[in-house]
């Protein structure tokens, strides 16, 4: 299947609609029936402002966070229409990819990569 790998970048302390933004994005992907979303935290990074974001022993709130989705073009359009309707600002990367599943479980109903 052809589509896109979309990666959103944020920090763990950003919130939207009462939830951490990363969790909200994962929940949105599930609500929209997308194949899946992966939320991962990083050790350290910096954004467009040049401010360093990192995980510290006592404070993890500023920890960099990525949300990754492999989606079709139609799913991309639906997702970004929904995000445009929200009052948020997110940096993302969109890369064309081919994706799918292999193996015996890939042919079973309800299998999602």
| Tokens matching residue 41 | 């935290």
Q: Please tell me the distance from the alpha carbon of residue 4 to that of residue 113, in angstroms, as a whole number.
A: 14
Q: Which residues of the chain have pLDDT under 50?
A: 57
Query: What pLDDT shows up at residue 11?
Result: 84
For residue 106, with 0-12 CB atoms within 10 Å meaning exposed, 13-18 middle and 19 or more buried, which class applies? exposed
* The CATH number of domain 2-107, selected from 3.30.70.120, 3.30.750.24, 3.40.50.11540, 2.10.70.10: 3.30.70.120
Neighbours of 27 (CB within 10 A): 13
Lookup result for tokens 């709130």: 61
Amino acid 110: pLDDT: 59
pLDDT at residue 104 in the model: 81
Q: Whose CA is closest to 67, among 96, 105, 29?
A: 29
- The pLDDT, as a whole number, for residue 100 is 93
């Amino acid at each position: 299947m052809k589509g896109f790998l979309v990666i959103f970048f944020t920090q763990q302390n950003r919130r939207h609609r009462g939830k951490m933004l990363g969790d909200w994005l994962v929940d949105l992907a599930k609500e929209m029936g997308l194949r899946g979303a992966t939320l991962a935290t990083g050790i350290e990074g910096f954004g467009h402002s040049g401010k360093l974001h990192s995980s510290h022993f006592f404070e993890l709130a500023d920890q960099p966070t990525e949300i990754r989705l492999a989606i079709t073009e139609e799913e991309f359009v639906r997702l970004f229409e929904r995000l445009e309707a929200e009052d948020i600002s997110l940096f993302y990367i969109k890369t064309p990819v081919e994706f799918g599943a292999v193996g015996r479980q890939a042919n079973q109903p309800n299998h999602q990569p």
